[in-house]
Amino acid sequence: MRTHILSLCALVLWPAILPASDFDWLVREFSRESGAQQVHVPFLGFARFVVQIGHPAGTTDMRLAIFERGDLDSMRFRAITDTTVGGSWKPMIRIRSSKGEATNIYERTEGKHLNLLITALDNDDATFVQVRVKPEALLRFVDEHEHH
């Protein structure tokens, strides 16, 4: 009986024990700094489930957060992103326009998987996407669809 109770407590408390992911920290920090609230995306949970089961284009996991009406300039956006994701993510691409738009793409290798983190700021709207892909499966997908 005691083992069952301990197992049940572990299952219930497990999410609280695990540290928040870099993605979760980034989303929280952006919300705090910009004053923007995350937009609810209908069926996002179902879409994540489909990605985890079906592995489209080699993708094994996907996270998405969208914000509207935030108040943050592109330089501060980049600083928050860099600081929050820390040294485990390597910047690949950085684009900033004079119109207040910014896009940052980071990568991190995790075993046989490649993690990509894409952060985009379009004036007062922001989008954060994190995907985990199997590089060889992604390359096969690109090769198969290159001429279509």
Mean pLDDT along residues 137-141:
79
pLDDT per residue over 85-109, tens digit each?
888 899 999 998 888 789 999 999 9
- Reference 62, options 138, 135, 131, 133; nearest CA is 131
CATH for 20-145? 3.30.310
Ordered strands of the 90-96 beta sheet: 37-38, 59-68, 125-133, 113-122, 101-110, 90-96
Highest mean pLDDT among 9-13, 15-19, 142-146: 142-146
- 90 token code pair: 């390597």
When mean pLDDT is compared across 17-26, 35-44, 57-66, 94-103, the lowest value belongs to 17-26
User: Please, which contacts does 100-103 make with residues 24 or more away whose CB atoms are closer than 8 Å?
Assistant: 100/73, 100/74, 101/74, 102/74, 102/77, 102/78
Looking at residue 42, what DSSP letter applies? T
- Reference 68, options 129, 120, 131; nearest CA is 120
